[in-house]
Amino acid sequence: MQIVEFLGVILMIVTSHGQMDNGKPTGLWLEEFSVPYEQFTEAGYVVIVASPQGGKTPVDPRSMPEELTEADKQALKVLESTISLEELQSPYKAVFFAGGHGTMFDFPNDENVSAVVQNAFEKDLPIALVCHGPAALVGAALPDGTAVVKGRKVTGFTNAEEQAVNLTKEMPFLLEDKLSEQGGEFSSKEIFKPHVVTDGNLVTGQNPASSKPAAEALLNLLKK
């Protein structure tokens, strides 16, 4: 039996929103949780999973593969019951925000989501957000009222990618535009190809394919 050293706690935050305004199902993009969750636990971290409302996490049906990996199966078990952010009390060393279109509806306007982001920036904790996960940055500000992304290098799901999946009109805003409007230095690469940006203790990933490298970047920050 392999003994893994306990290195601390990583907080993973997922959406609670399962339906777009037009009635289409949405939620968490499974790969953006299952892959990082596996990496964090295998590295020796305890992972606490929380969401704005707590309880079962809605998973976007479009993100469900035909054949589930063992990591997917484990992730789905964990996602059956998440902690409400309002009730979160456990200390943590880093935060990871998984994406999925559901985050565009609840992350920006949730006070508890913003509080976690603001706490990470104030204490300089490693924080990673992937795909639509950077929507959590939208509602967060520094103590002086400045948007947390102002002057920071970031990425996220691009306008071109949103257009490619035919969901531009279904979104309350476009993530690339919003992060840029708030002063973020937004960069991107070819659609659906991995792209991760690290600026200090802030890590952002462009799309689902960026999930693994974004998680690796967070682990590298923790090693420092």
Enzyme catalytic residues: 131-132, 162
End-to-end CA distance of the chain, in Å?
Answer: 28
Say whether 115 sits in a helix, a strand or coil. helix
The structure's pTM equals: 0.96
Strand partners, 11: 48, 95
Look at residue 39 in the predicted model and tell me its pLDDT.
98
Give the single-character DSSP code of 153: E
Alpha-carbon torsion 96, 100, 104, 106, what sign? negative
Q: What is the mean pLDDT of residues 180-194?
A: 98
Average confidence score pLDDT of the chain: 96
- Residue 5 pLDDT level (bands cut at 50, 70, 90): low
- Residue 59 pLDDT level (bands cut at 50, 70, 90): very high
Domains in the chain, CATH or no CATH each: 8-61+71-223 (3.40.50.880)
Tell which residue, 50, 46, 43, has the closest CA to residue 13. 50
Residues 70-105: tens digit of each pLDDT: 999 999 999 999 999 999 988 999 999 999 999 999
Strands (E), 14-171: 45-51, 83-84, 94-97, 127-130, 153-154
Look at residue 7 in the predicted model and tell me its pLDDT.
87
Look at residue 41 and tell me whether its pLDDT is greater than 50: yes
Q: What is the mean pLDDT of residues 48-52?
A: 98
Look at residue 3 in the predicted model and tell me its pLDDT.
45
Q: What is the mean pLDDT of residues 176-200?
A: 98
